[in-house]
Amino acid sequence: MNEALQALPLLFSICGVAQASAGMAACEQAQGIAATAAERARRSLLVAAESVQEHAGRLLLDWPGLFIDASPRIEELAVLRRSVVALRRALGGGIWQATAGGVPPDMDLGVASDQLSEIDAVLAHGIFAMSADHWLQIRDGAALREWYRRATTVAARTLRAVEDCGLAELGRSSVGVLPRITPGAFSAVLDADTADGFTARPVWNGRACETGPLARQGRRSLVAELQRRQGNGLMTRLVARLTELASLPRRMRRCLQVMHGGTGRRPVRGSGASATQSGTGLVETARGWLVHRVNLRGGIVERYRIVAPTEWNFHPDGALVHALLALPVTGAQELRRRVAMLVVALDPCVAHEVIVEPAPAEDL
Amino acid sequence: MCLAIPARVVRLLDDDKALIDVGGVHNEISLGLVEDVAVGDYVIVHVGYAIARLDADEADRTLALFAQMVNEHEGSSGEIH
C-alpha cells in the first residue's frame, strides 16, 4: 500500500498533490486512521496551492493567444510556480512525504505565510488588477462588466473580448452540475461490477454531469446571475473559474490558521474509525472532483480505482460534447477557435488538438 | 488522465526552448517555467511546457513504474487511463 501511495505523485504530473491526497485519504480510511485537523488543513492548503497553479497556468498560458491575440505570460506564471514550490517545501514537501499513520516532516509556517503573500501579489498584479479578496466583492454582472471594461490584465481583456465578439453564451447547454456526493455513495458505485465502465464514463442518476469551478461556484451571486442570464456558456464558465481562483488565497490562509492552532500533527490511529480494509478519498481539484477507491487485503492493495474530473466533463454525453453540438456553423478556422475556447473553458487535464473535417457529401 | 511521463532533454534551442525525447518521439517544448535545465536532464511536460525537472533517481523510478505498467497491460485489452 505504501508503494502505491508513493507511486501516485510520480505517475500523475499536473495534479500530483491532489492525487496523493486522495490516495492518502482512501488508504487511511481503509486502515481506520483519522488525520488530525492540522494535518487535514496542511493537505487542503497544498491541494489549494496546486489549484491556484493550475487555474493561473491555463489563464496565463492559454487565454492570451486564444482570446486576445497576445503572447503567453510565461514569466508571471514562472514567478507564481516558484512561490508554490517554496510554499510546498515550507509545509514539508508535499503529501507524499507523509505515509499513512506517519508524522509530517518539519514545517516553517512563517515561510509558508510569506509565500502566500507572494502568491497574493502575483494574482493581484497579473490577473485581478486588485487583491483576490477585493475582486470577490464583485457580486453582480454590472460590477463585473465595469471591472473588465477598465482593467488591463489578460483575464479582464479576455472577458471583454468574449462580450465584444458576442461569445458570452457560446456552448450553452442543459448539462447539469454534479451534486455533492458523499464518499459512501461513491464507494458503493466503485465496488460494483460495473465500476470499470463508471471510471471511464461516469454518470450520476443516469446523467452525465459537469464538475469543476462552475459546479462549485454556482451559488455565488455573481456566477448565479450570469448563469440565469447566459446559461452555462463561455462567459459564465470563465467567470466561475476566475471566482474560484480568487477564493483560493482566502482558503489557504484559513488552512494556515488551523495549522497554527493545531496540536499534535501525528495522524491518530484507531481514533474511533474502524479499519474496513476499504476506503474512499475525495478531493476537489482545479478541474473538479477526484475520487480514489482502494480495497486492501492484508495490507496489500487488491484493487485501486480512480475517477478523474476530466472523465465527467469530457464524457460522450457530457458538458463539452453538448457545448460543441450547440455551436453555430462557421468557417473551419473560426470553428476551430471556438472549439478550443470551449475546451479551455472546461480545462482538460491533457493536451488537446482540434481537427475540423468536412462531413461526407451524403451527410450534407 | 494526466500521466507524468519523463521526457529527456536532447538539445537546448533558442528562445528558452528545448528538443525532448519521449520513447523515441521528439518534440519542441518551452523551458520558460523551469530553471537550470541541461541536456540529458529529465523534465515533466504539460501542454508544451516543461513544468518540473526531475532528478535522475526520480526519473529512473518513474520510468520503471511506467515500464511495469506497460508490461502488465501487454497482451490484455486493458487501457491505461
SS3 category, A68 = coil
Domain assignment present for residue B78? The answer is no
Domain assignment present for residue B44? The answer is yes
A34 burial (CB, 10 Å; 0-12 / 13-18 / 19+) is middle
CA distance A288 to A303: 23
> For residue B69, what are the domain limits?
7-73
CA distance A252 to B25: 40
DSSP H helical ranges for chain A: 2-11, 16-31, 37-61, 63-67, 74-90, 109-123, 132-135, 141-150, 154-164, 183-191, 195-200, 213-217, 221-230, 234-261, 309-313, 319-325, 332-346
What pLDDT does residue A273 have? Answer: 55
Question: Domain segments of chain A: what residues?
Answer: 2-349
Domain assignment present for residue B1? The answer is no
Residue carrying C-alpha cell 463539452 = A320
What pLDDT does residue A363 have? Answer: 55
Class of domain A2-349: mainly alpha
What's the mean per-residue pLDDT of chain B?
85
What's the structural domain count of chain B? 1
What pLDDT does residue A313 have? Answer: 93
End-to-end CA separation in angstroms for chain B: 6
CA distance A18 to A32: 21
| Chain A residue numbers touching B4 (CB-CB < 8 A) | 10-14, 16
What pLDDT does residue B64 have? Answer: 86
Domain assignment present for residue B63? The answer is yes
Q: Answer yes or no: are the C-beta atoms of A277 and A296 closer than 8 Å.
A: yes
Backbone angles phi, psi at B77, to 5 degrees: -90, 5
| Model pLDDT for residues B55-68, shown as the tens digit of each residue | 888 888 888 888 88
What pLDDT does residue A308 have? Answer: 92
Residue A6 neighbours by CB distance under 10 Å: 16
Confidence of residue A96 (pLDDT cuts 50, 70, 90): low
Report the residue from B30, B44, B65 with minimal CB separation from A74. Answer: B30
What pLDDT does residue A266 have? Answer: 57
Query: Within chain B, how many helices (H) and strands (E) appear?
Result: 1, 5
**Nearest-CA residue of chain B relative to A15?**
B2
Residue carrying C-alpha cell 486564444 = A66
CA distance B20 to B29: 7
Which of B17, B47, B69, B77 to mutate to test binding with chain A, by most A CBs within 10 Å of its CB?
B47
- Name residue A71's amino acid: S
The ipTM estimated for the assembled molecules is: 0.81
Domain assignment present for residue B47? The answer is yes
| Chain B residue numbers touching A73 (CB-CB < 8 A) | none
| Chain B residue numbers touching A7 (CB-CB < 8 A) | 65
B30 Cα to chain A: minimum distance (Å): 9
**Nearest-CA residue of chain B relative to A72?**
B32
Confidence of residue A53 (pLDDT cuts 50, 70, 90): very high
**Nearest-CA residue of chain B relative to A290?**
B1
Q: How many CB pairs under 8 A join A and B?
A: 61
Put simply, the answer to whether A77 touches B33 (Cβ < 8 Å) is: yes
The domain that contains B42 carries what CATH number? Answer: 2.30.30.140
Q: What is the dihedral of CA A272, A273, A276, A280, to 10 degrees?
A: 180
C-alpha distances in Å from residue A349, one per residue of A188, A270, B2, B53: 26, 36, 6, 19
A311 burial (CB, 10 Å; 0-12 / 13-18 / 19+) is buried
